[in-house]
Amino acid sequence: MRAWYERRGYELLDRNWRCQAGEIDLVLRKGAAVVVCEVKSRSTLAYGAPAEAVGPAKRARLRRLAACWLATHDVHAPVVRFDVAAVLGCDVAVTRGAW
Protein backbone atom coordinates (compact mmCIF):
# COMPACT_ATOMS: atom_id res chain seq x y z
CA MET A 1 0.00 0.00 0.00
CA ARG A 2 2.91 2.31 0.62
CA ALA A 3 3.78 2.27 -3.08
CA TRP A 4 0.15 3.02 -4.01
CA TYR A 5 0.27 6.21 -1.95
CA GLU A 6 3.78 7.17 -3.04
CA ARG A 7 2.75 6.94 -6.71
CA ARG A 8 0.10 9.53 -5.89
CA GLY A 9 2.55 11.96 -4.30
CA TYR A 10 2.28 11.02 -0.62
CA GLU A 11 5.32 10.93 1.65
CA LEU A 12 5.61 7.96 4.01
CA LEU A 13 6.15 9.16 7.59
CA ASP A 14 5.79 5.85 9.42
CA ARG A 15 4.86 2.23 8.84
CA ASN A 16 3.60 -0.32 11.38
CA TRP A 17 4.04 2.18 14.22
CA ARG A 18 3.27 0.62 17.60
CA CYS A 19 2.61 1.74 21.12
CA GLN A 20 0.86 0.15 24.08
CA ALA A 21 -2.56 1.08 22.67
CA GLY A 22 -2.06 -0.65 19.30
CA GLU A 23 -0.64 -0.20 15.82
CA ILE A 24 -1.05 2.16 12.88
CA ASP A 25 -0.39 0.53 9.51
CA LEU A 26 0.66 3.66 7.59
CA VAL A 27 1.14 7.34 8.39
CA LEU A 28 1.61 9.53 5.34
CA ARG A 29 1.68 13.19 4.41
CA LYS A 30 0.52 15.09 1.38
CA GLY A 31 0.71 18.84 1.64
CA ALA A 32 -0.62 19.93 5.03
CA ALA A 33 -2.61 16.72 5.56
CA VAL A 34 -1.44 13.76 7.61
CA VAL A 35 -3.13 10.53 6.58
CA VAL A 36 -3.56 7.56 8.90
CA CYS A 37 -4.28 4.48 6.81
CA GLU A 38 -5.68 1.19 8.08
CA VAL A 39 -4.93 -1.65 5.68
CA LYS A 40 -7.27 -4.64 5.66
CA SER A 41 -6.84 -7.59 3.34
CA ARG A 42 -8.76 -10.73 2.49
CA SER A 43 -8.16 -13.42 -0.09
CA THR A 44 -11.91 -14.07 -0.47
CA LEU A 45 -15.20 -12.61 0.72
CA ALA A 46 -15.89 -15.68 2.89
CA TYR A 47 -15.46 -13.61 6.06
CA GLY A 48 -16.83 -10.36 4.62
CA ALA A 49 -15.33 -7.47 2.75
CA PRO A 50 -12.03 -6.15 4.10
CA ALA A 51 -13.36 -2.67 4.90
CA GLU A 52 -16.16 -4.18 7.02
CA ALA A 53 -13.52 -5.14 9.59
CA VAL A 54 -13.02 -1.47 10.48
CA GLY A 55 -15.95 -0.91 12.82
CA PRO A 56 -16.65 1.76 15.44
CA ALA A 57 -14.25 0.34 18.05
CA LYS A 58 -11.37 0.15 15.56
CA ARG A 59 -12.10 3.68 14.36
CA ALA A 60 -12.04 5.02 17.93
CA ARG A 61 -8.77 3.21 18.62
CA LEU A 62 -7.22 4.63 15.45
CA ARG A 63 -8.24 8.15 16.50
CA ARG A 64 -6.48 7.65 19.85
CA LEU A 65 -3.44 6.12 18.15
CA ALA A 66 -3.26 9.03 15.70
CA ALA A 67 -3.26 11.50 18.59
CA CYS A 68 -0.44 9.52 20.25
CA TRP A 69 1.56 9.40 17.02
CA LEU A 70 1.17 13.14 16.44
CA ALA A 71 2.23 13.94 20.01
CA THR A 72 5.16 11.51 19.95
CA HIS A 73 6.46 12.89 16.66
CA ASP A 74 5.73 16.54 17.48
CA VAL A 75 3.75 16.89 14.26
CA HIS A 76 1.13 19.62 14.10
CA ALA A 77 -1.14 18.94 11.15
CA PRO A 78 -4.14 21.16 10.36
CA VAL A 79 -5.79 18.17 8.68
CA VAL A 80 -5.70 14.54 9.84
CA ARG A 81 -7.49 12.15 7.52
CA PHE A 82 -8.33 8.50 8.10
CA ASP A 83 -8.26 6.17 5.10
CA VAL A 84 -9.10 2.49 4.78
CA ALA A 85 -7.22 0.48 2.18
CA ALA A 86 -9.15 -2.68 1.35
CA VAL A 87 -7.23 -5.39 -0.46
CA LEU A 88 -9.23 -8.28 -1.89
CA GLY A 89 -6.96 -10.67 -3.72
CA CYS A 90 -5.18 -8.40 -6.21
CA ASP A 91 -7.78 -5.62 -6.11
CA VAL A 92 -7.13 -2.50 -4.05
CA ALA A 93 -9.80 0.02 -3.03
CA VAL A 94 -8.83 3.01 -0.92
CA THR A 95 -11.56 4.95 0.86
CA ARG A 96 -10.17 8.40 1.54
CA GLY A 97 -11.63 10.13 4.54
CA ALA A 98 -13.42 6.97 5.64
CA TRP A 99 -14.62 8.76 8.81
SS3 at position 84: strand
pLDDT tens digit string along 1-20?
999 999 999 999 999 999 99
pLDDT average, residue stretch 26-38: 97
H or E stretch covering 87: strand 79-88
pLDDT averaged over the chain? Answer: 94
Calpha distance 89→50 (Å, rounded): 10
Cα Rg of the chain (Å, integer): 13
Task: Quote the pTM value.
Answer: 0.90
Name the residue among 47, 35, 52 with its Cα closest to residue 86: 52
Distance of CA 10 to the CA centre of its chain: 13
Q: Could you give all domains of the chain from N- to C-terminal order, each with its CATH number?
A: 2-95 (3.40.1350.10)
Band (pLDDT 50/70/90 cuts) for residue 94 is very high
